[in-house]
Amino acid sequence: MPLSFDMPLEKLPTYQGRTPCPADMDAFWDRALAEMRAVDPKVELVRSSFQAPGAECFDLYFTGVKGARIHAKYARPAVRNGRLPAVVQFHGYSGNCGDWIGKLAWVGAGFCIAALDCRGQGGMSQDLGGVTGNTLRGHIIRGLQDGPEQLLFRSVYLDTAQLAGLVMGLPEVAPGRVGALGGSQGGGLTLACAALACGRWSRPRTPTRSSRPSSASSTRSTSASARSLPRLAILTVSILPSGSRPRC
């Protein structure tokens, strides 16, 4: 089947999105990350009632920004020789982290995997609310009237980075071999996580909540500086520079 693209292939590696980047973009995310790092995550790993041969399955809980308790499913190989690669996974809009069976293939391949429940959507993560105005048609506008620091997706983006950082800090995980993946909303969250958490690679698939092309087959990760977003297309695995940040 022939490949199709939203723009000429040669232009995809330098695509910067449709929206001009605000001058205070880096300062905004510096403040957000400082807020996230100041939170005591109070991590809990609770052994799940679901177990499978060769795997150890847990419900992982941590405290995110603004005090919400965030839930993820975490699975790891039962037999481990040294530190292992890991994946953090993000679901589509209104969904949840999914069934355990979808995690076992990763475990069987020798990976640890953590799958996030986005706050306020179909899983077990808290949404503490406390914003002004209309949220009837979706989370994209949640907190819009109260300023950018109150936007719900700011908190969700930080949850992705916080989860990745927690996974990187687990004793069984090799911190330099952690990746992110997801589709639709999860594709957009994959891009945010990779930029904010200094991940090593990402696999976004048809990402929403981002100004990325909707279909592409190849790209490269390049950066004018260590603080720019790697120019990712989708359906790829790309190497991300350390310290990269999201750009519009």
The per-residue pLDDT for range 26-82, each reduced to its tens digit, is 999 999 999 999 999 999 999 999 999 999 999 999 999 999 999 999 999 999 999
**CA triplet 184, 186, 191: central angle to 5 degrees?**
105
**Measuring CA to CA, which residue among 159, 160, 154, 211 is closest to residue 181?**
160
What is the mean pLDDT of the segment spanning 199-225? 43
- On whether the CB atoms of residues 170 and 112 are closer than 8 A, the answer is yes
Q: How far apart are CA 205 and CA 208, in angstroms?
A: 9
- On whether the CB atoms of residues 228 and 29 are closer than 8 A, the answer is no
**Measuring CA to CA, which residue among 214, 208, 222, 238 is closest to residue 13?**
222
What does the mean pLDDT of the chain come to? 81
The yes-or-no verdict on residue 169 having pLDDT over 70 is yes
Amino acid at 203: R
Higher pLDDT, 13 or 58: 58
CATH of range 22-239; options 3.40.50.300, 3.40.50.1820, 3.30.1360.200, 1.10.3720.10: 3.40.50.1820
Domain assignments of the chain as residue spans, ordered by start? 22-239
Amino acid at 50: F
In this predicted structure, what is the pLDDT of residue 207?
A: 58
DSSP-derived secondary structure for 227-240:
TSPP---SSS-EE-
The yes-or-no verdict on residue 247 having pLDDT over 50 is no
The yes-or-no verdict on residue 232 having pLDDT over 80 is no
**Measuring CA to CA, which residue among 232, 229, 231 is closest to residue 247?**
229
The tokens of 8 are what?
């000429």
Tell me the helix, strand and coil percentages in the chain, rounded to 5: 25, 20, 50
Prediction pTM value: 0.80
Q: Which of 113-117, 179-183, 222-226 has the highest mean pLDDT?
A: 113-117
Percent of the chain exceeding pLDDT 90 equals 58
Instruction: Name the CA dihedral angle for 123, 128, 130, 136, rounded to a multiple of 10 degrees.
Output: 10
69-77, strands of its sheet edge to edge: 44-47, 55-63, 69-77, 112-116, 84-90, 173-183, 201-205, 238-239
In this predicted structure, what is the pLDDT of residue 55?
A: 98
